[in-house]
């Protein structure tokens, strides 16, 4: 389930866009009567979930680094 199997534009999509796409897949899975037809959609959803998790981690790291810089600047001023 590597995210490299997804289209390249998916890696440049925002978290909101990826979440919207995941929600659309979930709605289609909920409406599907035959589970045999939903395997591909479910796999796509798992891949999207992995990408969303990676983006959250990247954002968390960025926010953490930014916060650390600001705290250090405040400490230096004192």
Give DSSP secondary structure letters for 46-60: HHHHHHHHHHHHHHH
Region of 63 please: left (phi>0), alpha (psi -120 to 50) or beta. Answer: alpha
For 22-74, how does the pLDDT look when each residue is reduced to its tens digit (9 = 90+)? 999 999 999 888 878 788 899 999 999 999 999 999 999 999 999 999 999 99
Residue 14 DSSP symbol: -
Q: What is the pTM of this model?
A: 0.69
Displacement of CA 12 from its chain's centroid (Å):
11
Range in 4-8, 69-73, 74-78 the model is least confident about = 4-8
Kindly give, in sequence order, each residue whose CB lies less than 8 Å from that of residue 23, ignoring residues fewer than 6 positions away. none
What are the residue boundaries of the structural domains of the chain, listed by start? 3-77
């Amino acid at each position: 389930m590597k995210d490299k199997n997804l289209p390249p534009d998916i890696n440049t999509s925002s978290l909101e866009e990826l979440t919207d796409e995941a929600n659309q897949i979930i709605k289609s899975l909920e409406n599907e009567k035959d589970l045999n037809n939903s395997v591909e959609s479910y796999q796509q959803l798992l891949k999207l979930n992995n990408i969303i998790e990676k983006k959250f981690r990247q954002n968390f790291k960025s926010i953490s680094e930014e916060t650390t810089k600001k705290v250090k600047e405040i400490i230096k001023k004192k």
